Structure 1
Amino acid sequence: MVRPNDSETNFPFPILIGDIGGTNARFALLVDAFAEPKQFPIVQTADFKNIDDALQQCILDTTSVQPRSAILALAGPIEGDEVPLTNCPWVVRPRDMIANLGFDDVLLVNDFEAQALAIASLSEGDREKIGPGTERHAASRTVLGPGTGLGVAGLVYARHSWIPVPGEGGHVDVGPRSERDHQIWPFLEPIEGRISAEQLLCGRGIMNIYRAVSAADGVDAPLETPADVTSRALAQEDRAAIETVALFSTYLGRVAGDMAMIFMAKGGVFLAGGISQKILPALRGPEFRAAFEDKAPHSALLKTIPTYVVTHPVAALAGLAAFARMPDRFGVATEGRHWKR
């Protein structure tokens, strides 16, 4: 009988860990608690009709060491026995994975829970500090990840455990503050009357800002992809692109500062995801940190909170590996998300 289980948090090795997004799925195998994760080639989700086929062909058929457990981070809410991904047609069915693929345990977590687990133990070499502030090691932290969407999670320390706090913070309201914002905002398309952070702080958000900047200035917007905009901006080759990335950095700073206050994140605010790494040169500039600290009447508090860009290439997998090795170190909720044979 296969049933959800919330009473046991130790998983039998070998453990397959996975970070599954809308476009790419990344997997690694943890043979035991002391081994380094063995990474597999990145899986393109569009190449397989379902996750079971991808796991069979790309993982199970390629290794003599067969995993007994799977801990998978998914981009989407986890409810029930069938979990659809937000931006790809895969539906994760843990009962079928146990019945058909030989797993004894399957645990599903939110993708930004995995990012939060990662920031509990990143080394100095896996992050770059932006601006001032001093990290308090047992204090709360928060992580933001502009990518396909905008992920947000918190991390709090209580009863000798790091507890990830997932949520939908990427969908908070944002509004215009500066004169330039007021010129641009009429050209942003609201969703049911509001502009959310995710409409600005993700790949399509870069394009939304770029087109609004161009429309406000009455000029054409010939660039077609976020990569076009960011590369032209970093090369200082296109005025609208340069302003777009500067505004993106400003808006990211504002939202990061909001999250710092919500979580009282004296342990630091961490920027994860591919976009943060790609625009790191821009984030080193004045706009991000100035907007982060511009939180009267609490600007003095924000000045003391450090901010970082996560540079680890597979931070989510690192977070899952840390949890798999020592689950008792983390307060990960498993009720309704852990299936056993």
Structure 2
Amino acid sequence: MLNASDQSFPFPILIGDIGGTNARFALLVDAGSEPLQLPPIKTGDFATIEEAMRKSILDKTAVAPRSAILAVAGPIKGDEIPLTNAGWVIRPKDMLAGLGLEDVLVINDFEAQALAIAAPADEDLVQIGGGSVRPQASRVVLGPGTGLGVAGLVYAQHTWIPVPGEGGHVDIGPRTERDFRIWPFLDPIEGRMAGEQILCGRGIMNLYRAVCAADGLEPELKDQAEVTTSALSGADPAAVETVSLFATYLGRVAGDMALIFMARGGVFLAGGISQKILPALMKPEFRAAFEDKAPHSALMRTIPTFAVIHPMAALSGLAAFARAPRAFGVATEGRRWRS
């Protein structure tokens, strides 16, 4: 960690949420301003992040950022940071040399999501089921998207501390008779079923094909969007069951994470998939699976669950950190580069 006097970043600050499919950016001119949202970028449209930032941001704005705080989908080790589900490799030294930046910090994408749930606005949340938030108690955020992101947020020494990890890769197994019929048709990863094999965009298709195969049906829907749209409209019974099971399995994993972190401050579902299938998550299956954690079901009923409906939640978390970095216990060692 840096010394207290060394934690701030020079403004203007470019903040970015770099996912496997999309990269979203905003400019923070000073500590008192609202982030200036910039158009999203498809990571596949550019060979490198430097090219994307130059052509889509720096060449189109008169504001020259001096710092960059980036949240990326992947582990951060060394001077080259490959994205887990995209072709970019983040090289902060190249960004300093080629983009005129003075200061670059790279954190995990779900650290940014965790920062966003420290003090979310009421209008950015939809509560699913019962329970109530205990202030300054631990929290968890999960986000099914290109993969399944998970992070904790703990409060200690008057500071919110994000805890990144790879919780989306925990094992998930069958429990019900229906699960045992479907499970043989799911595509595993190296012989095991990880949460991310089901609870993400491609996981929806994995689950849909398995539901069809278990019933001897030919899958007719071609992608995740078709499955979720058909499920919400009730047009396709296999899609309806797929999204219902998705909600159930997400509830199970969310409950596991709540127990791991003792998340009496709440469990928060982030990302576009959670927002799109919110009507399904509001049905009994998600919350029932979340609470079904004997011998701790009574405890689980007291823990609230929320869908985060802020369209740019990670950027709001990064902006909160950029304005007041001393309020958050974000580790910078090995993840901050300066010119």
TM-score scaled by length of structure 2: 0.98
CA distance in 1, matches of 2:266, 2:186: 31
**Amino acid aligned to 2:156:** A
Render the CA deviation track for 1:46-82: whole Å, top value 9, x for unaligned. 2211111111111111111211100000111111111
CA distance in 2, matches of 1:54, 1:240: 40
| Structure 1 match to 2:133 | 135
CA distance in 2, matches of 1:94, 1:202: 29
Shift of 1:239: 0.7
| Structure 2 match to 1:58 | 56
CA distance in 2, matches of 1:196, 1:43: 29
| Structure 2 match to 1:269 | 267
CA distance in 2, matches of 1:106, 1:317: 16
Classify the secondary structure of the residue corresponding to 1:184: helix
CA distance in 1, matches of 2:87, 2:175: 39
| Structure 1 match to 2:190 | 192
**Amino acid aligned to 2:56:** C
| Structure 2 match to 1:215 | 213
Aligned pairs for 1:100-249 (under 5 A) are 100-249=98-247
Aligned pairs for 1:245-256 (under 5 A) are 245-256=243-254
**Amino acid aligned to 1:118:** A
CA distance in 2, matches of 1:155, 1:215: 40
Classify the secondary structure of the residue corresponding to 1:108: strand
Shift of 1:99: 1.3
Pick aligned residue for 2:88 from 82, 90, 97: 90
Classify the secondary structure of the residue corresponding to 1:10: coil
Q: Is the 8 A contact 1:115 1:315 kept in 2?
A: yes
Shift of 1:220: 1.1
Shift of 1:284: 0.5
Q: Is the 8 A contact 2:21 2:146 kept in 1?
A: no
**Amino acid aligned to 1:83:** I
Shift of 1:97: 1.0
Shift of 1:189: 2.2
CA distance in 1, matches of 2:2, 2:94: 19
CA distance in 1, matches of 2:143, 2:128: 16
TM-score scaled by length of structure 1: 0.97
Q: Is the 8 A contact 2:149 2:168 kept in 1?
A: yes
Q: Is the 8 A contact 1:260 1:269 kept in 2?
A: yes
CA distance in 1, matches of 2:206, 2:44: 26
Question: Mind listing any 5+ residue stretches in structure 2 that lack a counterpart?
Answer: none
Render the CA deviation track for 1:30-55: whole Å, top value 9, x for unaligned. 00001000011111222211111111
Classify the secondary structure of the residue corresponding to 1:308: strand
CA distance in 1, matches of 2:60, 2:186: 47
CA distance in 2, matches of 1:85, 1:190: 22
Render the CA deviation track for 1:159-192: whole Å, top value 9, x for unaligned. 1110000000000001110110011111112223
Q: Is the 8 A contact 1:6 1:338 kept in 2?
A: no
Question: Mind listing any 5+ residue stretches in structure 1 that lack a counterpart?
Answer: none
**Amino acid aligned to 1:296:** A
Q: Is the 8 A contact 1:6 1:336 kept in 2?
A: no
CA distance in 2, matches of 1:82, 1:216: 43
Shift of 1:6: 4.2
Q: Is the 8 A contact 1:72 1:108 kept in 2?
A: yes
**Amino acid aligned to 2:153:** L
Q: Percent identical across equivalent pairs?
A: 71
**Amino acid aligned to 2:217:** V
CA distance in 1, matches of 2:174, 2:306: 25
Classify the secondary structure of the residue corresponding to 2:295: coil
Q: Is the 8 A contact 2:129 2:305 kept in 1?
A: yes
**Amino acid aligned to 1:70:** A
**Amino acid aligned to 1:293:** E
Aligned pairs for 1:319-330 (under 5 A) are 319-330=317-328
Q: Is the 8 A contact 2:263 2:303 kept in 1?
A: yes
Render the CA deviation track for 1:291-318: whole Å, top value 9, x for unaligned. 0000000000000000000000000000
**Amino acid aligned to 1:247:** L
Q: Is the 8 A contact 1:17 1:70 kept in 2?
A: yes
Shift of 1:252: 0.3
Pick aligned residue for 2:308 from 307, 310, 323: 310
Q: Is the 8 A contact 2:103 2:337 kept in 1?
A: yes
| Structure 1 match to 2:36 | 38
**How many residues in Structure 1 have an aligned counterpart in Structure 2?**
337
Render the CA deviation track for 1:178-228: whole Å, top value 9, x for unaligned. 110011111112223211110110011111111111111111111110111
